[in-house]
Structure 1
Amino acid sequence: MKQFLASATGIALLVAIAPLKANAALFSQLYFFGDSLSDSGNLYQLTFNTIPQSPPYAQQFSNGPLWVDYLAEDLGLEPLLLTEFLANPFTADTSDGINFAFGGAGTGPENILAPDLPVGVLSQVSIFESFVSSSLLEPAEDALYIYLAGTNDLAGSDVTPPQLDISIPIANTEAALEVLIEVGAQNILVSNLPDFSITPRFNVLPQAITDAVSNQVSAYNQALSATIDELALSNPDVNFTEFDFNGLLLETVANPEEKDLTNVTDACLTDYTLPFDIDFGVCNSPENYLFWDDFHPTTYGYYLVTEAVSTELHEADMVVLLPESESVPEAESVPEPTVVWGMLALGFMAAGKKLHQRGVTPS
């Protein structure tokens, strides 16, 4: 049963929900790499607390915690944001891991929402590698690395019909995963992409366009799965788990009543345009909506993702059952953006050198 509490702004926020099916004691650290689907506040801090506008957003691209927040809480871990780490790189407690994900990130070095300081996923991974090689980070052998990226590569392409060569994001993804393996990652979860043709941004377009988008997502996911299989064969000591985000989304949209949802086609937010807007409208019952804006899930939608990820990890024998958890992570204070910008620039100097050595250049 879902329980909600009205905030001071009148927006219904999730504060307590049915506990997850399984907790885990096998992982002592979490490292997230990705885009807005996994960014718990890095872009918000990097853009001087402006993107996404909060409220009505919650300093991330939803109205509350994301799936990464719920998963971390369920594992009993509190990974830092990359921006938090950069504010105090020599004193920050990284014992629970770091979230490197940035809203707007593509699979390559670029970021569509922060083009002047690109924080794409290849850059995120290269920064991570540079921190490890310089002994700023010491990842644990039992750390879990989670990769979810590609929506900005595909969604940002020409959708009439899509013209993106999916071999580019696939190659970027393979390169990123290879870096993690080289650094010593033993447990890697890779999520496929949800079919965003059924999101409010796309489901109002002509059928020919949505079909083309759906077909491209399907082609990407098939290529991604094949890539993971190849990496698993060549790295038998690494535990790979594939999460079917797309399957969960399609199942939820087809059977919303089974997920306690009443609206899986419209955005809860109305009258807005990202990344900047001041005239948001908010639906009366966000807890009944799958989509918060025209692309991103509500916090309850993200909870459903965490529930499925937790089950997937358990079925892959990568977790062990512990007492159930009922709490939800709370927002923390943020460091000064100017400090973050300075340290992030230094991080990119090191990461850029590594990308150049690997022959990777912005596309």
Structure 2
Amino acid sequence: MLTCLYKKILLCVALLAPLPLIAAPYTKLVVFGDSLSDSGNLASLPTYSFLNKSPYQHGFTNGAMAVSYLAKFLGLPLKPSLHLDGTVNGNNFSVAGARAAGISGIDLNAQLAVFLQSQAGKARADTLYVIFLGGNDIRDMRDQPEKAAAALLNKATSNIQSALSQLATAGATHFLVVNSPDIGSIPETHALAAASKPNLVSYASQRTSLFNKKLAQTVAQIDKKKGVKIVLFDLLSFFKGLGNNGKAYNFNDTQQACYSSAGFKYYPACNNAKMNSFLFFDEIHPTQRVHERLGRALFSVVPEAN
């Protein structure tokens, strides 16, 4: 059964309600994703060791990731797989910079291959599998001609569909899939638009919408064919809810970045003390407070195990 979180009332409950630590009906959590869920894999590489120093916390934010909060609320451990050196030591395979459509060693197909190899091709039915990426693919589509953007979109959603299918065939039955936030709303897109590409914001928002629509369709096909239980979480609406009601959630700035991951310095209006009053940690990524709220929202829609 496919469930989509599109109702604003449910979103508000997820944002506001305190959640107790509850023993999960699952015995394990496995995550595939990008910088919105990578809690240490990219940081394990010497080139990216800066992610292990303040204000970073082993990933592109100033604290724990949403999936780490999800794991906490489920009562399950979640550690970075550290698989980029050839060995698997954890259950979070996310890598910052990963694409669904990509073919490099950090992308979705590679993450999935490493996981399945580490499990002798089996995916346990008592595990919750999270697939949380797509934003980087949309950033790639952002300024591409229509035909090229459409090809990227189809490849990205097809690869997510394939990942779900492979996991289901290997034995997985419960999935949480997260769509993309509006790439037109991130500070990076606004900066690029202001510099030289005034139509970029609308292009990015349009292509986010197309990606999310296509993702919902492809996920539904897997749900129907495989008889698995999939929840598709609407991250786009989640971020819109925060952005449109920032004051209600004690966010003083919902548009500007606090820190520059390009220049490794705080923007003039922000500093470490003010960081969690900002929605955006840097030009692309949200702050720890957003991740915590998102973790609660994800927990509120986790599919029940059989």
The normalised TM-score by structure 1 is: 0.71
Question: Out of 72, 92, 98, which is 1:105 matched to?
Answer: 98
Correspondence for 1:255 among 237, 242, 245: 245
Shift of 1:268: 1.0
1:239 is matched with 229
- Structure 1 gap segments, 5+ residues each: 1-16, 112-117, 320-363
Match of 2:72 in 1: 73
Equivalent position SS for 2:232? strand
Does structure 2 retain, via aligned residues, the 8 Å contact 1:21–1:310? no
User: Could you give the per-residue CA deviations for residues 131-167 of structure 1, whole angstroms, max 9, x where no partner exists?
Assistant: 2227xxx754210000011111120235266642211
Once the two structures are superposed, residues 103-142 of structure 1 have per-residue CA deviations (whole angstroms, 9 ceiling, x without a partner) of 011114435xxxxxx21011100111112227xxx75421
Deviations 1:242-265 (A, max 9, x none): 101111011111111232211100
Contact 1:43/1:51 (<8 A) preserved: no
Q: CA deviation at 1:87?
A: 7.8
Larger helix share, 1 or 2: 2
C-alpha distance in 1 between matches for 2:26 and 2:106: 26
SS at structure 2 position matched to 1:50: helix
For the structure 1 residues 161 and 288, does the alpha-carbon distance in structure 2 shift closer, same or farther, using more than 3 Å as the test? farther
**How far 1:45 sits from its partner (Å)?**
0.4
**Contact 1:260 1:288 (C-alpha < 8 Å) held by counterparts:** yes
Q: C-alpha offsets along residues 294-313 of structure 1, whole Å, 9 cap, x if unaligned?
A: 11000001111111111122
The amino acid that maps onto 1:99 is: N
Aligned residues: 281
Determine which of 156, 160, 168 is the counterpart of 2:140: 156
Tell me if 1:198 matches 2:189: no
Paired AA for residue 179 in structure 1: Q
- In structure 2, the partner of 1:210 is 201
> Which structure is richer in relative contact order (CA contacts within 8 A, separation 6 or more)?
1
Q: What letter is aligned with 2:30?
A: Y
Alignment check: 8 A CA contact 2:125 2:173 kept: yes
Structure 2 unaligned spans of 5+: 1-15
Match of residue 11 from structure 1 = none
Return the match for 2:130 from 132, 143, 146: 146
Report whether the alignment pairs 1:285 with 2:274: yes
Summarize deviations over 1:312-339 as a string: whole Å, max 9, x none: 22xx5459xxxxxxxxxxxxxxxxxxxx
Identity of aligned residues (%): 26
**Structure 1, residues 75-110: CA drift from partner, whole Å, max 9, x if none?**
122223111796875xx6x6xxx0000001111443
Matched AA of 1:263: D
